[in-house]
A and B are shown apart, each in its own frame.
Chain A
Amino acid sequence: MKWISDKGLKHLLAVANDPDFGATKYRLLEEISHGGMGTVYRALDTELNREIAIKVMRQPEAGASVAARMVREAQIIARLEHPGIVPVHDVGILADGRVFYAMKLVRGGRLDDYAARNPGIKDRLRKFQAACEAVAFAHAHGVIHRDLKPQNIMIGSFGEVLVLDWGVAKINAGHQANGNPLEIDTLPLAKGKDQAARFDRAADHETAQGTIIGTQHYMSPEQASGEVARLDERADVYALGVILYFLLTNRTPGTGGDEPLPGPREVNPKVSKAAEAVCLKAKATAAASRYANARELAQEVARLLDEEPVSAYRENALELAGRWLGRNRLLVLLVLAYLVMRIFFILTARG
């Protein structure tokens, strides 16, 4: 029996587990992360001599539905050309049946790591707004992410915000917005009729009613109940609302068990009433009470950042006056100065 050294053993462990890119132009360098569906590696494109990221199915036995999801994910991302969505360069199938796609390598950290560094609320809101805009772009093209969470939002080393992991995204077939709806109707990577049919069946299966897709605590009630057909952009708005809650409070949903979350201002008194209202409206239990899509939410956050009134919060007279005074501070000071001078002159004249 052949003796296997430690080095050989390590290699065979990799052979038994790692995807084989030997026949491609890519060489895997290190694992960056892994999720339920795929593993992301830092890799080298040997033809262009540049580092890229490759996402590949974790195991060849994962099945046609995972393969179909990976292909769909690559196709969706490739067509969503937006600065907040990582561009895809290539997609393919390895000899062992694992689907992979190559994309731009983004250096940086996740949104939760960013929040752990304790930036101010305004900085957090700016990042959040950028994430909302990327999702809004997808919504405009009829794509619902369905798995938004801090772990799927990346802050690049230049402060850029990218929304990742579109593996469980849903394409809204009846979408009639201003953007061009995506039509992902073919899976050209499938080898032969049989595999294509398997992939198509798998893709159909993916949207089956009753299938729960997403991450607990970030899923809207309708998503958590498996009402796939009913899902629309507001499911993403809910997840964004939970992310906003996390950014405003630093509290990860679910850490308090099944207890309802306290209001953001109860956890962090520095949060304004308007920001709290935006957050609570976004993550309202009833879909009808939320913002209609991520664009509306992004606009609302922009108003928060500009210190303008938001639709989610009706200010009282005192708050309105305070806001007016805050926005017209110079004018108020000038008028006050003028009045003081007038009074001074009147008093002096009488004296």
Chain B
Amino acid sequence: MEQDTDIGGPEHRFPETRHSAIEGVRSENVEQRARAVTTIVESYWKPVYKYIRIKWGAANEDAKDLTQAFFTIAIEKHYFAGYDPSKASFQTFIRTCLDRFIANQKKSEQRLKRGGGQDHLSLDFNEAESELSLPYHVSEITPEEYFHREWVRHLFALAVEGLRTHFDELGKNVHFQLFEAYDLREDLLGEAETETPARVSYSSLAKDFGLSISDVTNHLAATRREFRKIVLTKLRELTASDNEFEHEARSLLGLKIK
């Protein structure tokens, strides 16, 4: 039996960042509710689309319609407000709702009728479709794992975009450019955990950007810290409770929040 040391003290929590979008969908305030729904759709539409394409084997156009219909009906019928955090994670809840929705649609063959005539959400399906043509190892994982992995991928892609915007707004583009050169250049990442990545060194980055090595170190550290903060903020938005947030953070990043 593993025995953990209790070191006491009050400083073992992340600061509360932003309100949960999952809680926001239950708000009486219309604007707040709309913002929460946007956050959920923005964070889940791509994994939902890909899941419909891969797990349900839907054709491109059908998957687009089903994705649109799923979110439109979910918003209309307040699906998200019915989420009970004590039963499952929000991610599992969405996937279960989606499976039920697609199964019902297939049975009744009403999907086009339902999707038609309703306001469509602005979703970039071409981008999602082009990503599906990139190399995957779908056969090695279960549909649930696939959905989770795509959700994590989308969450990180959103975080990278959030990071770019953050430093743009601060007028500190060099921070993001350094991050891009050091951490986003996939061609320079190692193939295996034990392999040494053929990454650029801090000294060559310093030379390329006309900075000192300590500036590169500090800028990269600040950017990574911000990246981590954005990921956690997104995660907090997409979880309903502190417990769920801590569980997701632990399983996603291996973080021990408490």
Contacts and interface: CB of A to CB of B under 8 A. Distances in A.
A65 B3 CA distance: 22
B4 A215 contact: yes
How extensive is the interface on chain B, given as a class? Answer: 35 or more
A9 B134 contact: no
B153 A4 contact: yes
A147 B8 contact: no
Contact of A63 (B6, B12, B127, B157): B12
B7 A213 contact: yes
A29 B160 contact: no
Contacts of B160: 1-2, 4, 12
Nearest to B161: A1
B215 to A, nearest CB: 11
B26 interface: no
Contacts of A165: 5
B54 interface: no
Nearest to B224: A15
Contacts of A7: 186, 189, 191
A167 B222 CA distance: 27
Interface in A12-44: 12-13, 15-17, 20, 22-23, 27, 29-30, 35-37
Residue of A1, A3, A13, A252 with most chain B CB atoms under a 10 A cut-off: A1
Interface bin, chain A: 35 or more
A71 to B, nearest CB: 14
Contacts of B222: 95
B11 A64 contact: yes
B225 A9 contact: no
A29 B192 CA distance: 12
Given A8-B184, A9-B156, A211-B8, A16 B2 contact: no
A95 B193 CA distance: 23
Nearest to A7: B189
B73 interface: no
A212 B4 CA distance: 13
27 contacts: A3-B131, A3-B134, A4-B160, A5-B186, A12-B156, A12-B160, A12-B227, A15-B224, A16-B227, A17-B255, A23-B214, A23-B216, A29-B194, A36-B4, A36-B6, A62-B11, A63-B9, A64-B11, A66-B12, A95-B217, A147-B5, A151-B2, A165-B5, A167-B5, A202-B11, A215-B3, A215-B6
